[in-house]
Amino acid sequence: MIGVKPKLAVVHGTSCSNFSYIVGYRTAKELAEKYDIVYWRGVVDKGLDALKEIEGVDIGIYVGAVKTNRDLEKLLLLRRKARRLVAYGTCAVYGGLYGLAALHQLNQGSGGSGENKLGLLKVIKPVSSVVEVDILVPGCPPSDELVEKMLKALMEGDSSKKLIAGDRSLCSVCPRKPGSSDTIEMPGLKRLHEAIPDEGKCFLLQGIPCLGPVTAAGCNLECIRKNTPCAGCMGPARGVEDMGLRYISAIASILLVSKEKQLMPPGLSKEMDKLPELTSILYKYTLPTSKLFKLNLKRRGIE
Amino acid sequence: MKTLYIDPVPRIDGDSRLLIEIDEGGVIKKVEYQTLGINNFYHALKNRLIEEIPRIITALCGSLSYSHYIASTIATENILGREPPEYAVALRALAVYTEVIEDHIRSFYTKVLPKHMGSIDISSIPDYAINMLEYLRGIKQVIGGKPIHPVFAIPGGVSRSLVKEELDKLKKLVNDLGTYIERYRSDVRKFYEELLYTKELREYSARTYNISLVNGDKPSYIGGRLVILDPNGNSLTIGLSEYSKYIEYRYTPSSTTRIAYLREKGWHGYTEETVVRTGALARVNIASSYTSREALEERNELVETYGSLPVHSIFFSPWAQLVDVLEAYSRIRGSIDRLENLEASIANLEGLLSTNGIGIVDSPRGLIIHNYSVNDNLLVNEIDITTATEINIAALNTDLNKYGIGKKYTEKLLSTLYQIIYFYSPCSTGSIGR
């Protein structure tokens, strides 16, 4: 219908900020001009009733983790109303940094009993484990390039690509990628505060954990450009089911390979002990979607 | 008696609601701003590698992610006993000054001014304000890589120096931003000519304590000393590590944000003479000298208009934010000059370990305090983070009650209650918990 704007609703779960600030106010204002905004805290002064009362919206964007009963209720409402649903940001797609509290929440959450005044769910959930999602946009925050791709897909009604991220791993697009003649060996392990990385060299070849081999590309390489190793905020690269397990496997094949015979397993194990905690390295953004966490749920009989 | 819940409070970061109790005659008996968000970050941080904390903590608050990131980096490097080189100090300061300007500009043009004009959506934000926010976003990206959740600091310094192209880009963005600063200044002044037109608002006050960072008698956004100013204007200066002797906390069942209050005064509810303000207005009350001549002029005129020091009216907050913006803008220029002229020594990895570290930043919305303890493996075993909202929430509720109670509930009154909330710019994502 000519002249009728598509309807858009933006709902926030547990998120670090407002979607208008995360994407920038220029983009937010453009969206407000192109769409009829039914609900978007920070952009129009309408309560959630506006979304409850409307028959449906063309696009729903859910921002943040599903961590509380309130988040869950809002997500279910948005799914009921939205013809197409976007899970925006790594918190929505994989649980994100909030997911690092997942194990604790498992022990403390109310499971929706209402007894817990905080209303914490027992399990921090990625949006796609609760409802059907049409478009997933990871990133902490998603890069301008991914936001542009998402907006284009929404405007054109393109539903061919569900996950808007790079097709390859971060390593494959990294300017520090070792040359074919370089020996790929990790010369021991260093904690991040123990070294100032050489700006031109692969972090792994300097002994610094970098999640590039298992992380999807598409982030615009901001961390790498700032001489900071990848922490995995884009989530798993294509073909990687569990970031942590795949990463350990990758590291095991390059860590001190030339000294493997002298060191033997006890020596290599001692090297690994230099990292006394691995969750914040391996699963900084994806703990609730990891195999280990799911195993934990299964053991406790939680769906 | 009727209880209304305004849920959510529009334009605020995170979920929050406003409780208003009204009697049969429509007169307000109680007002309370309640936060509903839960970040639960204590459990995300506990037992993690200390060096990973600054990167994790940025998600605590996207709006102040740079301020939290720097406070966290400082706490971490204090544990490692490292002294960052001047270059790193200048780059980090530049980041915080940028966030001070960004948050104030955002608050004024996306919350305060639209509400004042009766606008209910983003369409009323002028293009030049959008330009300013885009320049600030660009400056942050040059410094920290991403517009939120930066990745440029390491314990003991920064991860690398800026190359010439980045410095040139930075200078251009800062110059472009500068072309609108006078416009913003005149918008704030115009807002005051209209706002303070009524006798009621001119004469409103709620007497509180104030707390902020100073360096000498100038406002200090990073480092320096802490000053607590009592409602009569008497000040107490303390070292940064002494804060916990003076600040105590409590929870309330109605809100997810912990409430900070002064240990010596004790908790007396939302009452004047006991609660504390932090942020732009506190800085105006505590600092008397400025790097920027324009900032000093505005500060003096603000105080003159109110009539005395300390300024006890939260309605002067956007004006105090203007003072911050002028000061921070002048300091940004100074920081860029320093970065151009200093030797690009980016980090110092030497230092003597200790088991505890504190990092304090006086962010746009007020003090944020990160306090970590570690075990022998440098894993974090105790964390406490005090946010500006935790300090301000009692004062905010004191203001809401003082202004609202006894008045008839109307849309216009609700609009003023919203403004009081916007003047504090609270974040409603809750406390880190335990």
Query: DSSP secondary structure string, B381-422?
Result: EEEEEE-HHHHHHHHHHHHHHHHHTTSBP-HHHHHHHHHHHH
User: Which residue, among A253, A239, A224, A228, has the nearest Cα to A169 in the 3D structure?
Assistant: A239
In angstroms, what is the C-alpha Rg of chain A? 21
CB atoms inside a 10 Å sphere around CB A183: 10
Q: Is B159 on the interface with A (CB under 8 A)?
A: yes
Q: What is the ipTM of this complex?
A: 0.95
- Which residues share a beta bridge with B21? B3, B30
Contacts of B140 in chain A (CB under 8 A): none
Distance CA B393, CA B277 (A): 9
Contact pairs from chain A to chain B, CB under 8 Å: 199
pLDDT at B281 over 80: yes
- The predicted model scores a pTM of 0.97
Does B330 reach chain A within 8 Å, measured CB to CB? no
Name beta bridge partners: B62: none
CB contact under 8 A, A117 and B61: no
pLDDT greater than 90 at residue B259: yes
Q: From B82, which residue of chain A is nearest by alpha-carbon distance? A: A193
Q: Nearest CA to CA, how far is A216 from chain B (Å)?
A: 17
B128 is written with which tokens? 């030049």
Amino acid sitting at position A107? N
Angstrom distance (rounded) from CA A288 to CA A126: 7
Q: Give the model's pLDDT for residue B246.
A: 98
The answer on pLDDT for B365 being more than 60 is yes
Smallest Cα distance from A166 to chain B, Å: 18
> Which stretches of A10-120 are DSSP H helices?
19-23, 25-34, 49-53, 69-81, 90-94, 102-108
Q: Which helix (H) or strand (E) holds B6?
A: strand B2-6
Test A68 with B346 for CB contact under 8 angstroms.
Answer: no
Q: Is B250 left (phi over 0), alpha (psi -120 to 50) or beta?
A: beta
- Kindly state whether B130 is in contact with chain A, defined as any CB-CB distance less than 8 angstroms: yes
Task: Name every chain B residue with its beta carbon within 8 A of the beta carbon of A97.
Answer: 44, 56, 58-59
Q: Please say if the pLDDT value at position A158 is more than 80.
A: no
Q: Name which of A46, A70, A277 is nearest B36 (Cβ-Cβ).
A: A70
For residue range B143-185, what is the model confidence (pLDDT) as tens digits? 999 999 999 999 999 999 999 999 999 999 999 999 999 999 9
Q: How far is CA B265 from the centre of its chain?
A: 23
Looking at every residue in chain B, the average pLDDT score rounds to 95
Closest by Cβ to A222, choosing from B76, B145, B253:
B145
Contacts of A24 in chain B (CB under 8 A): 133-134, 137, 147
Query: Mind listing the pLDDT tens digit for each residue in A231-282?
Result: 999 999 999 999 999 999 999 889 988 888 888 888 888 898 999 999 999 9
Q: Which residue is associated with the tokens 């030797």?
A: B343
Element spanning A126, H or E:
none
Share of residues in chain B with pLDDT > 70 (%): 100
Question: Best residue in A11, A22, A25 to probe B by mutation, most B CBs within 10 Å?
Answer: A25
Distance CA B172, CA B332 (A): 12
CB A260 within 8 A of CB A66: no
Radius of gyration of chain B (CA): 21
pLDDT tens for each residue of A62-96 = 999 999 999 999 999 999 999 999 999 999 999 99
A97/B59 Cβ within 8 A: yes
Q: How far is CA B414 from CA B104, B270, B316, in A?
A: 22, 19, 19
Interface of B with A in 345-384 (CB under 8 A): 346-347, 349, 377-379
How does strand A36-40 pair with strand A7-12? parallel
Distance CA A166, CA A163 (A): 9
Burial class (CB in 10 A: 0-12, 13-18, 19+), B384: middle
Show Cβ contacts of residue B237 under 8 Å, excluding neighbours closer than 6 positions: B214, B225, B226, B227
User: Would you say how long chain A is, in residues?
Assistant: 303
Distance from CA of B59 to the nearest CA of A (A): 5
Enumerate residues 81 to 110 of chain B having a beta carbon within 8 A of any beta carbon in chain A.
106, 110
* pLDDT class of A135 with cuts at 50, 70, 90: very high
